[in-house]
Amino acid sequence: MRKQTFGVGLIGFGTAGRFFHAPLIQATPGLELLAVVSSAPERVHAVLPDVEVLPKAAALLSRPDIDLVVIASPNETHFALGKAALAGGKHVVIDKPFTVSLSEARLLKAEADKAERLVSVFHNRRWDSDFRTLQALVKEEGVGRPVSLELRFDRFRPQVAERWREQHKPGSGIWYDLGSHLLDQARTLFGMPRAILLDLMAARDGAEVDDDFHALLDYDGLRVTLRASSLVAEPTPQLALHGTRGSFVKYGRDPQENWLREGRMPTRDWGIDPRPGQLTLVDESGEGGMVRREHGGLPGDYLAYYTGIVEALDGGGLPPVSVEEAIEVMTLLEAGLDSYRQSRWIRFKENGATLPHLHRHG
């Protein structure tokens, strides 16, 4: 049984704060959104008329009624704001990516350990419908032993927007934005890879930072491909898993983001994807050939993240995304950049650290 309701303060009311964090916090029993830090109070009050808006983070961090601080501000501010929140005795949720560097991520973990406070990162795409379905198929060996997996996050946004994610700033670009999602999904499925190879490109006219990436992750007997681009107009599979007994291919992205942007709140039927995937398996009836059928899979459930945060705060257990898992994603992000700069595979030790001397993989 839940012991209390935790007061929440949200820093930032851009896309992440407005469309993901605020509605999910409001829909989670045990959490109460008390204040938002934003330079545009009219924008906040248009959506949250009863929530106090503060101009600076310091005013939020000094409030004794705030137990949990959610940081949904630009990536380069994550470390400083997270450190200040921990110093103020607050628990912290940070929108992905954790920080803009692995060294900052490790320092923030040390601060959390010292303060004895929870820190978690919002890797919400673990709770996409297609990924939850994929996770179940891998666990039950639904296509046999996996040998190849491609995860994609394509969009068609030919115009470069006036926003920090597309400017020369720490943690900007599509690798940090969407790469962190796909890396977390791959790591959740299979753990840390043996090596990573990354290629980046600024493909659009006027692009200042990367807007296209192609990454390869090497596992024992398995190759994982991660792709994202801002210039894909024709739908591509969101995921394609191939194994020794068949394949699972899924088109169409989980509907939860669009529903949140439309102002819908989680309900009993939340997260059900109307577009099933295609499962193609060896016919084991003795007739030979292949059997093809639709596979609807599991519903998406972003609310599970904040429900898990309440359970961790209430019972002192692990959060739904641990700080150690977030650091592994940061390790992969940085190793990917090293791979791109040096045009070579980057290998990992068994503990996830990169090897001190880099050799070509193969």
Residue 222 pLDDT level (bands cut at 50, 70, 90): very high
Q: Give Cβ neighbours of residue 258 (< 8 Å, ≥ 6 apart).
A: none
- Confidence at residue 12, expressed as pLDDT on a 0 to 100 scale: 97
112 in helix, strand or coil? Answer: helix
Range list of β-strands (E), the chain: 6-11, 31-37, 52-54, 68-71, 91-95, 119-122, 146-154, 195-201, 212-219, 222-229, 239-243, 246-250, 277-282, 290-295, 346-347
The helices-and-strands tally (H runs, E runs) of the chain is: 12, 15
Beta strand 346-347 pairing with 195-201? antiparallel
Domain with CATH 3.40.50.720 in the chain: 6-122+304-318
How far is Cα of residue 314 from the mean position of the Cα atoms in its chain? Answer: 24
**DSSP secondary structure letters along 291-305:** EEEEE--PPP-THHH
Work out the pLDDT band at 136, boundaries 50, 70, 90. very high
- pLDDT tens per residue across span 168-197: 788 889 999 999 999 999 999 999 999 999
User: What pLDDT is recorded for position 340?
Assistant: 97
Average pLDDT over residues 349-357: 59
* 10-45 pLDDT, tens digit each: 999 999 999 999 999 999 999 999 999 999 999 999
Q: Is the pLDDT of residue 362 over 60?
A: no
Q: What is the CATH number of domain 126-254+267-301+333-342?
A: 3.30.360.10
Is residue 338 pLDDT above 80, yes or no? yes
**Residue 7 near residue 65, CB atoms below 8 Å:** yes
Measure the CA angle with vertex 212, ends 206 and 213; round to 5°: 150
Q: 6-122+304-318: what CATH class?
A: alpha beta
Q: What pLDDT is recorded for position 353?
A: 63
What is the C-alpha separation between 6 and 28, in angstroms, rounded?
11
The token pair at 326 is: 């977030």
The one-letter code for the residue type at 208 is E
Tell me what pLDDT residue 358 has. 37
Q: Looking at the chain, which residues constitute the CATH 3.30.360.10 domain(s)?
A: 126-254+267-301+333-342
Helix (H) or strand (E) holding 138: helix 129-139
**Mean pLDDT, residues 107-117 taken together:** 97
Residue 157 to residue 136: CA distance in whole angstroms: 32
Question: Which three-class secondary structure state does DSSP give residue 170?
Answer: coil
